[in-house]
Amino acid sequence: MATSSPLLALPGAVAGLPDSPDVGVAWHYGDPFAEQRAAAAGVAVVDRSHRPVLAISGAERLSWLHTITSQHIANLGDGESAESLDLDGNGRVLHHFVLTDLDEVAWLDTEPASGRPLLDYLRKMVFWAKAEPRDAHSELAVLSLLGPAVATVLPALGLAELPPLYRAAPVDRGGFLRRMPAFGPIDRFDLLVPRDELRERWDALAAAGATPAGSWSFEALRTAALVPRAGVDTDDRAIPHEVGWIGGVAEQGAVHLDKGCYRGQETVARVHNLGKPPRHLVLLHLDGSADGRPVTGDQVLATARAGDRAGTVGDQVLATARAGDRAGTVGDQVPAA
């Protein structure tokens, strides 16, 4: 589904690294530190158009999706949003997606590697339900707006006010603006726009004062806020409890603990009742004293006993790690290997 963004033709745009999950969009536009400062103090716009977009129409779209994924979404109202997961039979994370129900269509956007397999799974599970999943990647593209001054670009969207958390507001000429959980103190919004107007919408936001920022800045802020990302902070053994995805919409989670059965639900309930997942996501501060730098997948070793494996590096901006339950506490020094 994913293709290279036309915004890579912008002056100064540097493409994401070939082995990056964000290949196909800009890594930065020449000054990633200034871009990150703009997100922290003003408003930045980030190209995330490589995220696959799916659409589900049909009268039973929400009740059906509710039965096969992890979040309580059966009663979402028009314009309401949620995060949810597709788990395997052992409760391990396969796919994470964000859902917005608007004008009788459920719009899903997900990680670049998840688009096709998630759509295939949804189509396989329709049976007799009145639900019609389709590939909508050619219809809408995802941008993100970051910063305390997002309201200053509202005139470019034809909006008078920002939507509340997990709510979406339709914007002029198609698409919608959706508020997502903040990256710490930094407000975050997703803007889905008609894909054939991507460059035009981007230019309008830049003219309204938004600073173009790349995936490098987005990932740095996400990592610092310890917001998990499927495929980066998860591996093929990860369960939702390890990365903070337990909770309903009100708790900013992706797994509701009080709903009917779905694939993987038994593991979710068992680990929750035991109260102790085998690993948990932690933030690593890399001081730069070692030669080179760790990359995603490197082991993290504890210092208490030389060679003890404490976890695995998930993201290399600051870094996150999936750490074992006895990996240590805040302030412990843990060299990455």
The answer to whether residue 41 sits within a structural domain is yes
Do both 39 and 159 map to the same domain?
yes
Do both 47 and 176 map to the same domain?
yes
Model confidence at 321, pLDDT cuts 50, 70, 90, reads: low
pLDDT of residue 335 exceeding 50, the answer is: no
**Domain harbouring 16, CATH code:** 3.30.1360.120
Q: Is residue 79 packed enough to be buried (19+ CB in 10 Å), middle (13-18) or exposed (0-12)?
A: middle
Q: Specify whether the backbone of 103 is left (phi greater than 0), alpha (psi in -120 to 50) or beta.
A: left
Boundary residue ending a domain (224, 239, 268)? 224
The answer to whether residue 183 sits within a structural domain is yes
pLDDT of residue 312 exceeding 70, the answer is: no
Do both 216 and 288 map to the same domain?
no
Question: How confident is the model over 296-310, as pLDDT tens digits?
Answer: 777 777 665 554 555
The answer to whether residue 290 sits within a structural domain is yes
The whole-number pLDDT of residue 17 equals: 87
Do both 293 and 180 map to the same domain?
no
Residue 29 and residue 223: Cα distance in Å, rounded? 20
The whole-number pLDDT of residue 106 equals: 99
How many domains, the chain?
2
Model confidence at 87, pLDDT cuts 50, 70, 90, reads: very high
Question: How confident is the model over 25-68, as pLDDT tens digits?
Answer: 999 999 999 999 999 999 999 999 999 999 999 999 999 999 99
Give me the chain's average pLDDT, please. 91
317 vs 104 pLDDT, higher one: 104
Task: Find the range with the poorest average confidence among 1-10, 28-37, 97-106, 231-240.
Answer: 1-10
Do both 205 and 306 map to the same domain?
no
Boundary residue ending a domain (177, 209, 224)? 224
The whole-number pLDDT of residue 303 equals: 61
Question: How confident is the model over 162-184, as pLDDT tens digits?
Answer: 999 999 999 999 999 999 999 99
Boundary residue ending a domain (224, 253, 287)? 224
DSSP 182-227: EETTEEEEEEEEEGGGHHHHHHHHHHTTPEEE-HHHHHHHHHHTT-
Do both 162 and 46 map to the same domain?
yes
Do both 19 and 145 map to the same domain?
yes
Do both 192 and 336 map to the same domain?
no
Could you tell me how many helices (H) and strands (E) the chain has, helices first? 7, 17
Residue 164 and residue 185: Cα distance in Å, rounded? 16
Residue-range definition of the domain harbouring residue 159? 6-52+138-224
Residue 321 and residue 60: Cα distance in Å, rounded? 39
The answer to whether residue 215 sits within a structural domain is yes
The whole-number pLDDT of residue 284 equals: 82
Question: How confident is the model over 229-243, as pLDDT tens digits?
Answer: 999 999 999 999 999
Nearest to 209 by CA among 49, 38, 48, 40: 38
The answer to whether residue 291 sits within a structural domain is yes
Question: How confident is the model over 266-289, as pLDDT tens digits?
Answer: 999 999 999 889 898 988 877 777
The whole-number pLDDT of residue 336 equals: 43
Per DSSP bridges, beta strands 211-213 and 44-47 are parallel
Do both 322 and 191 map to the same domain?
no
Do both 307 and 168 map to the same domain?
no
Question: How confident is the model over 187-222, as pLDDT tens digits?
Answer: 999 999 999 999 999 999 999 999 999 999 999 999
The whole-number pLDDT of residue 293 equals: 72
The whole-number pLDDT of residue 317 equals: 45
Do both 219 and 150 map to the same domain?
yes
Per the structure block, which two tokens stand in for 26?
């800009």
- The partner residues of 178 in beta bridges, in order of sequence, read 168, 190
Amino acid making up residue 310:
A
